[in-house]
């Protein structure tokens, strides 16, 4: 699957996310997980950001990012029945290791859900070259709906 196969909403979200992480990662080397909702308000789409705080003092074994991602996922799920929410995204920085072993690679994992139309997981492997963010590979995998069930008519 490629970007051309994505729905209009998911393609637009992915472009925005790639632009955002291309600014964040070179400056900070990472970013906290975040979510995005696309809500239909009258004749326009509104982008709503979902963030949570790093409360490392109270999380298990100092692993705040997965706990933060879980809280954001819960926030997205709280909008499951809101018909004005058309699409959702969960964005996380990750360190991946190939199944066969080897060095870890840097990646961003993006879960995208376009209510009733398409759900995908995108893995953006990247490198910093001369302080500039460069995507080295982009994998888009179709998934079952995970955030937003189809609207009932």
Return the percentage of the chain with pLDDT > 70, whole number: 88
pLDDT tens for each residue of 51-100: 886 655 555 555 567 788 889 999 999 999 999 999 999 999 988 776 66
Whether pTM > 0.85 for this model: the answer is: yes
What pLDDT shows up at residue 102? 67
- Coarse DSSP helix, strand, coil percentages of the chain, rounded to the nearest 5 percent: 30, 40, 30
Instruction: Determine the distance from the C-alpha atom of residue 63 to the mean position of all C-alpha atoms in its chain, rounded to a whole number.
Output: 19
SS3 label, residue 120? strand
Neighbours of 59 (CB within 10 A): 14
Whole-angstrom CA distances from 88 to 26, 40, 49, 85 are 25, 12, 10, 8
Ranges of each domain in the chain: 3-142
């Amino acid at each position: 699957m490629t970007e051309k196969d994505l729905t209009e909403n998911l393609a637009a979200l992915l472009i925005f996310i790639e632009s955002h992480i291309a600014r964040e990662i070179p400056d900070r080397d990472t970013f906290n997980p975040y979510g995005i909702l696309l809500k239909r308000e009258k004749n326009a789409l509104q982008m709503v950001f979902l963030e949570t705080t790093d409360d490392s003092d109270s999380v298990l074994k100092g692993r705040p990012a997965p706990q933060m991602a879980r809280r954001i996922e819960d926030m997205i799920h709280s909008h499951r029945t809101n018909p004005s929410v058309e699409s959702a995204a969960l964005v996380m920085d990750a360190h991946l290791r190939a199944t066969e072993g080897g060095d870890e690679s840097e990646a961003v994992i993006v879960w995208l859900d376009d209510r009733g139309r398409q759900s995908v997981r995108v893995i953006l492997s990247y490198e910093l070259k001369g302080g500039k963010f460069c995507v080295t590979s982009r994998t888009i995998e179709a998934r079952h709906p995970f955030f937003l069930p189809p609207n009932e008519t």
